[in-house]
Amino acid sequence: MNDSPGWATPGSPSDGQGSDGTQPPAPPADAPKWSASQPPPGQWSSPAAGPTPPPQQQGQGWGSYGQPGQQPGQQPGAPYGSPYGAPYGHPGGPGGWGGPPPAAKPGVIPLRPLGLGEILDGAVSTLRGHWKTVLSVSLVLAALVQLGLLTVQRLMMDNLVMTPDEAATPEEAMRLLGDTLTTAVFNYYIQLLGLLLVTGLLAGVVSRAVLGQSSTVAADLRAVRPLLPRLLALTAVLFLGALAAGVLPLLPGLLTGNAVLMVLGIPVALTLLAWYFVTFVLAPPALVLERGKVTDAFKRSAKLVKGSWWRIFGISALTWVITWITSLIIAVPFAVIAMIVSPGGFSGLLDGTSAQSWTFLIITAIGGLVSLTVTVPMQTGVTNLLYIDQRIRREALDLELARAAGLDDYDAATPQPGSGPVTGG
């Protein structure tokens, strides 16, 4: 039985079974099987197919004229007794060879299990169609993130600069390595903190984009305001867990000053961090859209990710690569401008003096602000759509979404194309 809260509907037509594990009763013979918006797929019989042919005749009703089992007046290639002609994906039918019939699409995604391209396209379409709300939220969070990065960079820069003719002792080299690692870790985690928070804040915007509804900043904030304490608590717990997964394996090397232990701890930290992030990445949208408790959101994320860990990891990693490349494209021009106008120019960049100037730091921070404002909505959109996709696959959420979108002719009694049982990735 489906025990999910919020959007979920009891039972899943994708299971092909009732809540007690038995096959559901067949619908009445005169019940409509197909909505007007979706043609019947060829692999299922049509409403007018009549009774199933006897065993000795099964498999003969799919031929062409002149083949055994062809019914009088039936179009070539049509299934047994079908008035629809050639089925979808078969010769002579719509769609050529293979491929499901088009699903209902009230908003940025079709209401069926999504492919990689559809998830990425849905995230971009959400950003394009709701850019005022999305960019307003991401801009505020990006500004806070960049302010924190700018402060830490300026405080740590004196320790990270060494002149070329300065001979560093092993202790100084370890200190420099530790300071550099500390700065990199801080940069990563403060961006992760902002990303997690924006994911929850924009979950409602993405859900409305899926339904084809408009959104405003005021409406989004009103919807999230009652959940804000829980969202902040969830973000803090996620942040602390990620911090522990990424930093604890490095502590032995950092505390003892042993470079070997530090190097050995890096792959362990990356593995733990990847497992933790993917397992609980769907917790922010689960909290906002199901309006449950913090602990429930963690459980829901782990449940939805189970069996699909590698798929979600691959899509998240690819999204990170795309956004990282986009960030570089945006930030490089600002870095070039900062290098030109900062004291010392290119030579100052080499010896580290330019990086210590406020001019350089502020211009590069502006570039980081622009890149984060653009790329964070892409990452959060993919995460929220992964949550919706997993619930469509596991819990037939497409039926609930169709009703919420006002698709009255969406047939909830018939399994929709592509919403069969899906396990694993």
Residue among 423, 415, 413, 416 at smallest CA distance from 390: 423
The whole-number pLDDT of residue 276 equals 95
> pLDDT below 70 — which residues of the chain?
1-101, 156-180, 344-356, 409-425
The whole-number pLDDT of residue 170 equals 64
304-335 residue pLDDT tens: 999 999 999 999 999 999 999 999 999 999 98
Q: Helical H runs in 112-169?
A: 116-129, 131-160
pTM of the model: 0.70
Rg of the chain taking only CA atoms, in angstroms: 28
The whole-number pLDDT of residue 335 equals 85
The two most distant CA atoms of the chain are separated, in Å, by 94
The whole-number pLDDT of residue 27 equals 47
Domains of the chain, by residue range, sit at 116-400
CB-based contacts of 325, cutoff 8 Å, min separation 6? none
**8, 395 Cβ separation under 8 angstroms:** yes
Q: Helical H runs in 202-227?
A: 203-210, 217-224
The whole-number pLDDT of residue 190 equals 86
Residue with tokens 């990710």: 305
